[in-house]
Amino acid sequence: MKFNIKSILKIGLPLLLGVFLVYYSLSQISINELIKYFKKANYAYVFLGIFFGFLSHLSRAYRWRFQLEPMGYNIKFKNSLMAVFATYLINYTIPRAGEVARASILTNYENVPFEKGIGTIVAERVADLVIMLFIIAITLVLEFEFIYSFLITKFNPKGIVSLLVIGLFLLLSVIIYVARSKSKFAQKVKGFLEGLTEGVLSIFKMSKKWPFIFHTLFIWLMYLLMFYTTSFALPETSNVTIAALLIGFIAASFSIAATNGGVGSYPEAIVLAFTLFSIPENPSRAFGWIMWSSQTVMLIVLGGLSLICLPILNRKR
């Protein structure tokens, strides 16, 4: 029973949150006005953004092969690419189910054991997390003055210092507790951190570590270019500062994990980020919907074609 309730919550909560955020977003801007923004958008920039997104997926599929080669599996690039697109499509239905399907596709068509496929996917997620944290760190350094002045304006300086001290104290307390405790929770946290560390170190142990690192950087560069070029699609967002774009990109990236493929959460995350820079809500929301819709259409089309073509192109197997 517990398993069933847990499964229902894992599937149902992101879906309900997505439905609510779609309703909320469309309640803040009329459908007619949103359609006007879509009509006046410069689709040369939208398609350029789609192209950069497509390149990132090509690179992700190629990078995956570097992780499997040391295990003795030389998978076909076409299968790797179709598995990647299928992952994104399935994640729109059930969060994180795409990763399971991706490993299953390799098991079916490339004879890669399921647990090994999942292991490589976890390792690449660790690499992506490291790059995401690096982008956040760069943003904090570049925009320190803005972030500092924003916090000072919105919050009492003494309150900020107090929160930082309390946060540091709590962090140290948790670290000490996890290091010394033998409770199930502490062991899970310790296991997660050990796995995270092992995943990062395993990257530097692989024979083609530098091509792997290059493709990891290339993937995230394409993500940034995808976001940046699409911002030129609307006149109202064409002059957005780099600071706003970076913070908007970070917020949008995290929003994808909140709901199925970022439905509803993606445009609202951009609104929250852009309004910090006094960018009007409606153009920000419209940009968010254009950005999310263009990438989603690409992933649905290519993901659907991948699921159709996988058994056809591998019929001999």
Q: Judge whether 13 lies within some domain.
A: no
Residue 3 pLDDT greater than 80, yes or no? no
The average pLDDT across 272-289 equals: 92
d(CA 77, CA 79): 5
Q: pLDDT band for 8, please (50, 70, 90 cuts).
A: low
Does residue 9 form part of some domain? no
- Residues of the domain holding 98: 22-313
90 belongs to a structural domain: yes
Instruction: Give the per-residue pLDDT at 94.
Output: 78
Residue 42 lies in a domain: yes
Q: What is the DSSP string of 130-168?
A: HHHHHHHHHHHHHTHHHHHHHHHHHS-HHHHHHHHHHHH
Residue 21: pLDDT above 80?
Answer: yes
Report in angstroms the alpha-carbon separations of 281 from 266, 275, 293: 14, 7, 18
- Residue 307 forms part of a structural domain: yes
pLDDT at 16 over 70: yes
pLDDT band at 201 (very low <50, low <70, confident <90, very high): low
Per the domain annotation, does 5 fall within a domain? Answer: no
- The number of distinct structural domains making up the chain is 1
| pLDDT grade for 217, boundaries at 50, 70 and 90 | very high
d(CA 82, CA 304): 9
| Residue 143 located in a structural domain | yes
Supply the angle between the helices 97-110 and 77-91 in degrees, to the nearest 10: 150
pLDDT digits (tens, 9 = 90+) for 121-151: 888 888 888 899 999 998 888 877 777 676 6
* Chain segment 305-317, per-residue pLDDT in tens: 999 999 998 887 6
268-273 long-range CB contacts below 8 Å, 24 or more apart?
268/21, 268/24, 268/25, 273/244, 273/247, 273/248
Q: Are 179 and 168 in contact (CB under 8 A)?
A: no
Average pLDDT over residues 80-105: 87
Q: CA 69, CA 64: separation in Å to the nearest integer? A: 9
Q: What is the mean pLDDT of residues 240-267?
A: 89
Residue at token pair 């900020």? 160
CB 287, CB 270: distance < 8 Å: yes
- Say how many residues make up the chain: 317
DSSP string, the chain: -HHHHHHHHHHHHHHHHHHHHHHHHHHHS-HHHHHHHHHHS-HHHHHHHHHHHHHHHHHHHHHHHHHHGGGT----HHHHHHHHHHHHHHHTTSTTHHHHHHHHHHHHHH---HHHHHHHHHHHHHHHHHHHHHHHHHHHHHTHHHHHHHHHHHS-HHHHHHHHHHHHHHHHHHHHHHHH--SHHHHHHHHHHHHHHHHHHHHHHSTTHHHHHHHHHHHHHHHHHHHHHHGGGSGGGTT--HHHHHHHHHHHHHHHHHSGGGTTHHHHHHHHHHGGGT--HHHHHHHHHHHHHHHHHHHHHHHHHHHHHHHHHTTT-
State the pLDDT at residue 192.
Answer: 65
Buried residues in 118-152 as b, exposed as e (16+ CB within 10 A): bbbbebbebbbeebbeebeeebeeebeebbeeeee
Asked if residue 294 is part of any domain, the answer here is yes
Residue 97: Cβ within 10 Å count: 16
The band of 197, judged by pLDDT with boundaries at 50, 70 and 90, is: low
Q: How confident is the model at residue 1 (pLDDT cuts 50, 70, 90)?
A: very low
